[in-house]
Amino acid sequence: MKKASSILSHLSSQPQFKFLKQQVCYKKYISLLTPKYQKAIAFIYIKDDTLFIAVTHPGFKMELNYNRDLLKSILTQLQSHDSKCEMMQAEKVVIFHSKYYPIEKTQEDISTVPYYNELASNEFEIKSNDEDIIAKFKKIKESIACNK
């Protein structure tokens, strides 16, 4: 019986699935960038010797425009060091804002309910002669004890 990795490598070598190899190289290129730029980039692709970079927020567009030479040099280094990514050649870099990009949910994003510990203490004197006030303060003491 064949292993899954051998089946996938056979399928990815077929000409109709050449885009799978490109996608692996695109992911590898994004992983070479700093974490700040990794979060900023929604997706990339290469078409007609132009590297297109879609950013998640318009504010990142200006910052990446200043670093076009860096993005281009990382692409050429990836191309020279990885034989699988030889097809990644680009003369120009175009950066644009994309409203449509997949948002990957992490575990931190799912859990948004904050949990707090009780900081109050139920050890205080009740200096009142009124029975209603004394009863209310006793209820407050009990609720503080329950929350601890």
Of 21-30, 56-65, 96-105, 128-137, the range with the lowest mean pLDDT is: 96-105
Mean pLDDT of the 90-118 span: 74
Whole-Å CA distances, 36 to 63, 83, 101: 11, 27, 17
Confidence (pLDDT) at 86: 86
What is the DSSP code string of 17-52? GHHHHHHHHHHHHHHHS-HHHHHHEEEEEEETTEEE
pLDDT band at 76 (very low <50, low <70, confident <90, very high): very high
Q: Is a pLDDT exceeding 70 seen at residue 122?
A: yes
The pairing of strands 50-55 and 92-97 is: parallel
The most confident of the ranges 11-25, 52-66, 106-120 is 52-66
Tokens 């292993």 — which residue? 3
- Reply yes or no on whether the pLDDT at 50 is more than 90: yes
pLDDT surpasses 80 at 12: no
Give the residue from 67, 91, 64, 66 showing the smallest Cα distance to 79.
91
61, HSE (Cβ side, Cα atoms, 13 Å) = 13
- Give the rounded distance of the alpha carbon of 33 from its chain centre: 13
- Tokens 């990382």 belong to residue: 74
Q: How confident is the model at residue 111 (pLDDT cuts 50, 70, 90)?
A: low
What is the average per-residue pLDDT within 11-21? 78
- C-alpha gyration radius of the chain: 29
